[in-house]
């Protein structure tokens, strides 16, 4: 195996025929053929766009999270919601009413676009927004973000950034060529626990970082009951056609920031992935849905739980799990382990060499609950100290959504680099197609493409923002 070549090896195996002929896995091989030459644009790591005094915002997709985005952006000062687009007229009208109510008279002439699947394109051309918020089905994220940037707007995209490697490369290239931000809105990075752990890691309290555990474990089987509207129309279809970790970024984003991945210290290298049998979705729909319901007559490909292991350039490991089918409580794991201790979530708990002051005597037991108050007080993230009370009041997944939206406005108005750059969104989202390829090849390691083209080595770590 000294002259091992993955592509040549695959050609000699029966697995290659399945993988290369399946449209589901085509994207997983794009890292082999995608040119590595420059996009001809500007590297966007640490990029600060020209200041925008008043953000003119358009929103695409207001059926769920998009409506919440529009409502809270309308509330934040120095914004103007100028247009809203959705397939459904009633959703557009509801969202417009929200914005008028929350905007204290600032959002009176909101353009409405609905009915046709391509009305969002007309919106971009006609109203020329500074910022576009995209909260549609996953398959639309990439084309909408790319076109928004080409039309002169910064694009802010719901999770995931895209679903194929080719799309991720095109997003990166377009961002560089247009010098427009494209940020995947990973709200979890603004959670109180995640910000606290980031600050603790930056202060070296748990020593050199070795290992992380991330997950998206969320019982979403109710979505399979509704095939008429909302996520139930399209999300189960991904379970039907794909097999891997289909939604990795909520758990992975914070771990990647703790480790400074894609920012000077370390980088994603490879991933191996395995899925369990696909049993739970079919059992659920057969028990709960009418016999003629769409999903009740489907064979699902996605295993009930996927477990992937990422290896970094420095040899660190990250376990990433995904499970939307099993009857179990919600968890993102959020564990980061170092040479001097471990931080973990669900529930929040800490173990340190020598114990946690006032809580534990050694590392053989967890400090948790009220015993962590002194640690929180000492290492509470400055951003949470500044915005936490307001964020709790405004809401949105405990306030993390508001904090993210506030920071987007703040960074664009002040001409600051964003807290999450386009490359981070690409790396975190790339776990999905790469895991699909690994699963299809019985756990064969997959190499991460370098969306930064080596520039990550010169990208400053995310600062502890005050």
Give me the tens of pLDDT residue by residue for the chain, a chain 466 residues long: 333 343 443 343 333 333 333 333 334 444 444 556 899 999 999 999 999 999 999 999 999 999 999 999 999 999 999 999 999 999 999 999 999 999 888 898 999 999 999 999 999 999 999 999 999 999 999 999 999 999 999 999 999 999 999 999 999 999 999 999 999 999 999 999 999 999 999 999 999 999 999 999 999 999 998 878 889 999 999 999 999 999 999 999 999 999 999 999 999 999 999 999 999 999 999 999 998 888 888 899 999 999 999 999 999 999 999 999 999 999 999 999 999 999 999 999 999 999 998 999 999 999 999 999 999 999 999 999 999 999 999 999 999 999 999 999 999 999 999 999 999 999 999 999 999 999 999 999 999 999 999 999 999 999 999 9
Decide: 301 and 330 in contact? Cβ < 8 Å: no
Determine the pLDDT at residue 104.
81
As annotated, the residues of the chain forming the CATH 3.30.360.10 domain(s) are: 189-458
Question: What distances in angstroms separate CA 136 from CA 156, 162, 370, 408, 434, one per listed residue?
Answer: 12, 11, 40, 19, 23
The C-alpha torsion from 30 through 34 and 38 to 42, rounded to 10°, is -20
d(CA 129, CA 125): 9
Decide: 305 and 216 in contact? Cβ < 8 Å: no
Determine the pLDDT at residue 35.
53
Helix/strand/coil percentages in the chain, nearest 5: 45, 15, 40
Decide: 399 and 407 in contact? Cβ < 8 Å: no
Decide: 227 and 237 in contact? Cβ < 8 Å: no
Q: What is the C-alpha end-to-end distance of the chain, expressed in Å?
A: 51
* Cis before 160 (ω within 30): yes
d(CA 424, CA 419): 10
> Exposure string (b/e) for 215-242, b if CB count within 10 Å is 16 or more?
bbbbebbebbeebeeebbeebbbbbeeb
As annotated, the residues of the chain forming the CATH 3.40.50.720 domain(s) are: 55-184
> Which residues are CB-neighbours of 426 under 8 A, at least 6 positions away?
161, 162, 168, 169, 171, 172, 451
Residue whose token pair is 């923002």 = 465
Determine the pLDDT at residue 226.
81
* Cis before 347 (ω within 30): yes
- DSSP annotation of 136 reads S
Q: Which of 23, 35, 27, 29 is nearest to 444 (CA)?
A: 29
Classify residue 453 by burial, with Cβ atoms within 10 Å: 0-12, 13-18, 19+. Answer: middle
Residue whose token pair is 């299809």 = 440
Determine the pLDDT at residue 105.
82
Report the interhelical angle of 249-258 vs 422-440 (nearest 10°): 120
In CATH, which of 3.30.360.10, 3.40.50.1100, 2.102.10.10, 3.30.470.20 is domain 189-458?
A: 3.30.360.10
Look up the pTM and report it: 0.92
Question: What distances in angstroms separate CA 90 from CA 15, 95, 150, 335, one per listed residue?
Answer: 48, 9, 29, 42
Q: Which of 67, 128, 129 is nearest to 101 (CA)?
A: 67
Determine the pLDDT at residue 53.
97
In CATH, which of 3.40.50.720, 3.40.50.2300, 3.40.50.2000, 3.30.70.890 is domain 55-184?
A: 3.40.50.720
Determine the pLDDT at residue 37.
85
Determine the pLDDT at residue 85.
98
């Amino acid at each position: 195996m000294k002259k091992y070549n993955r592509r040549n090896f695959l050609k000699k195996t029966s697995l290659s025929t399945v993988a290369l002929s399946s449209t589901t896995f085509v994207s997983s091989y794009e890292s082999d053929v995608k040119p590595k030459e420059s996009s001809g644009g500007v590297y966007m790591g640490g990029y600060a766009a020209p200041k925008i005094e008043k953000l003119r915002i358009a929103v695409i997709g207001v059926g769920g999270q998009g409506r919440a985005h529009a409502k809270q952006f309308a509330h934040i000062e120095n914004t103007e919601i100028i247009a809203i687009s959705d397939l459904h007229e009633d959703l557009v009208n509801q969202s417009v009413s929200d914005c008028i109510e929350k905007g204290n008279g600032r959002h009176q002439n909101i353009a409405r676009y609905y009915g046709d699947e391509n009305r969002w394109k007309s919106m971009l051309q006609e109203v020329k927004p500074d910022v576009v918020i995209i909260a549609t089905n996953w398959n639309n994220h990439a084309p909408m973000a790319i076109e928004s940037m080409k039309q002169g707007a910064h694009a802010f995209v719901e999770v995931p950034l895209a679903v194929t490697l080719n799309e991720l490369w095109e997003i990166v290239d377009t961002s560089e060529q247009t010098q427009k931000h494209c940020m995947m809105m990973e709200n979890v990075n603004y959670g109180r626990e995640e910000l606290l752990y980031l600050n603790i890691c930056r202060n070296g309290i748990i020593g050199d970082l070795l290992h992380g555990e991330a997950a998206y474990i969320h019982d979403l089987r109710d979505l399979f009951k509704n095939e008429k509207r909302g996520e139930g129309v399209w999300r189960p279809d991904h379970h039907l056609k794909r097999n891997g970790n289909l939604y990795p970024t909520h758990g992975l984003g914070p771990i990647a920031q703790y480790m400074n991945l894609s920012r000077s210290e370390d980088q994603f290298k490879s991933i191996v992935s395995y899925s369990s049998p696909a049993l739970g979705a079919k059992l659920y729909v057969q028990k709960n849905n009418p016999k003629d319901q769409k999903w009740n007559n489907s064979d699902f490909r996605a295993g009930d739980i996927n477990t992937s292991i990422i290896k970094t350039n420095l040899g660190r490991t990250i376990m990433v799990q995904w499970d939307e089918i099993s009857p179990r409580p919600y968890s993102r794991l959020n564990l980061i382990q170092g040479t001097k201790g471990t931080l973990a979530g669900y529930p929040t708990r800490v173990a340190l060499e020598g114990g946690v002051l006032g809580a534990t005597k050694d590392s053989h037991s967890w400090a948790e609950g009220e015993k962590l108050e002194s640690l929180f007080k000492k290492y509470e993230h400055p951003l949470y100290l500044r915005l936490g009370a307001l964020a709790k009041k405004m809401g949105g997944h405990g306030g993390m959504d508001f904090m993210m939206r506030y920071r987007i406005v703040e960074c664009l108005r002040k001409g600051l680099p964003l807290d999450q750059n386009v490359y981070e969104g690409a790396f975190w989202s790339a776990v999905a197609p790469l895991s699909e390829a690994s699963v299809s090849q019985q756990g064969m390691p997959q190499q991460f493409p370098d969306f930064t083209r080596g520039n990550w080595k010169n990208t400053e770590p995310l600062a502890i923002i005050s």
